[in-house]
Each structure stands twice: as structure tokens, then as C-alpha cells.
Amino acid sequence: MASDNKQAMGIGYKAQIEKYGTPISRDLYLELRKYADEHRIRITGFRNFVGDIETIKTVIDDICEIAVDFPKILDKRMGIILELDYDMNDADFSTTDSGHVIKINAGYFSDIDKLEQDYIEQEKKGHFVSNTGWRSVVRHEVGHVVENLYGFDIMEIAFIYANTTNRIELFDYLDENLSVYSTAYEDGREIISESFSGYYSKVGNIFADSFVKKCIELKDKMDLSMKGR
Ligand SMILES: [Zn+2]
């Protein structure tokens, strides 16, 4: 999830970790690992985390909430790997790699107040879904993982709920009613992720709610047809 704030975060976070804070103790690290294991989420890169492990537990809880609807995201092989990335210096909050590796920016996730502040600043400008906050960052990325694992036709679903068949009208509608970031790519890849951001943050965004409910309905149909075989 890219912010539109072009100012770079600063290079080499890992090399200057002391500037950001003291890495968590081994006990806290083990506590976090245990929590992740119990929730079937693989984590990596957290040994030198300088933030609050409760933040990461919240992220894990948020992923598990979405997994109730889309269980494949906890698949042993193809499920989510949560990685703390020390080298994300381009003002990205997070990215999704290889379809299921969610990388979160260490600079932001070790300072949740800064993340919330920067996020809200852009949410207020319409860049992100109205009334969402920092927890939407990972919910957004989970949308990309779900798309990768379930293969929904994003544009087809979007046209239904924007009530148009015209691509320009659709993107205008989404800019107004979902978020500006949802139209960042012509192929519509950010529509599902911004919809996940809105739906799971329970902010009452009508398009996001309809879009994700349709995805859940389609997933249920896939399950049924699998059983029928
Ligand atoms: Zn995205």
C-alpha cells in the first residue's frame, strides 16, 4: 500500500536500529512467535523489532478475522507470511510479494502513532477509504492475497456495484465513493484491496461492503462445487 507522500523514510533502518529504539527481548520475541504459531501465521524478520508486540498481535488478529471468510489465506504452503521489512524506504506502508508475502514497513510498524498520523492525513484527502485507520494497511494487503488465492474477476464485480459498464465512469465512481488509491492501476488491482480495507474496518462504505460480500458469496459457491465433485 503506497502512500502519496513522496518523502522517503530514510535508508538502512536495520543498520541504525538503535536510533529507532531497543530491539525486543528474547522473551517478548518468543511470545510473539508463539502467538503467530497459535494463529497459523508465519512471521519473519521480527527478531530485532523495536516496536510494541501488541501491534503485531493486532495485525495477526485482523488477518484471522478475514480468514474466517477466506480460509485459504492460512494455508500451510500458500498462506500469508508476515514479514517485517527494514528496507522499505520509498514511503510504502506495506506491499504484497509473490502473492502471499505481506511485507510491512519496519519504520512505520515500530512507531504506530507515526503510521496512524501519516495514514489519516491521506485518508482525509480521499487517498484511502473514509474513516479507516492504520489497521486497514494490512487488511488492504490481505485483499491482494485473497485475490491471488481465489482469483475473483475484480472488474466484473466492480462494474456491478458501480452500476455502470463504462470504465471511465467506473473509475470516477470509485474515486468518489471508495478511494483515490483504488484506481491507481488501470487493471483494477487496488479495487479489491481497498474494498477489503473498508469492509473489514466496518466503516459503512457501501461499495466496499457490497464488493466483499459478493466475494464471500462467490467463495461459498466455489466450496459447494468442490464438494459436488
Ligand atoms: Zn495494494
3-state secondary structure of 92: strand
Q: How far is the CA of 143 from the centre of ligand 1 (A)?
A: 8
Nearest of 122, 132, 87, 82 to residue 102 by alpha carbon: 82
- Asked whether the predicted pLDDT for residue 6 surpasses 70, the reply is no
Instruction: Using DSSP bridges, classify how beta strands 101-105 and 81-85 pair: parallel, antiparallel or unpaired.
Output: parallel
pLDDT at 30: 98
Amino acid at 111: D
Q: Note the pLDDT tens digit of each residue in 84-132.
A: 998 886 579 999 999 999 999 999 999 999 999 999 999 999 999 999 9
pLDDT-derived band at 229 (thresholds 50, 70, 90) equals low
Grid coordinates representing 214 are 459478493
145 Cα to the center of ligand 1, angstroms: 10
Tell me the pLDDT of the chain averaged across its residues.
Answer: 93
Cα 18 to ligand 1 centre (Å): 30
> Model's pTM, two decimal places?
0.93
User: pLDDT digit string (tens) for 35-94?
Assistant: 999 999 999 999 999 999 999 999 999 999 999 999 999 999 999 999 999 888 657 999
CA–centroid distance, residue 42 to ligand 1 (Å): 21
Question: What is the whole-number distance in angstroms between the Cα of residue 24 and the centre of ligand 1?
Answer: 29
Residue 133 DSSP class: -
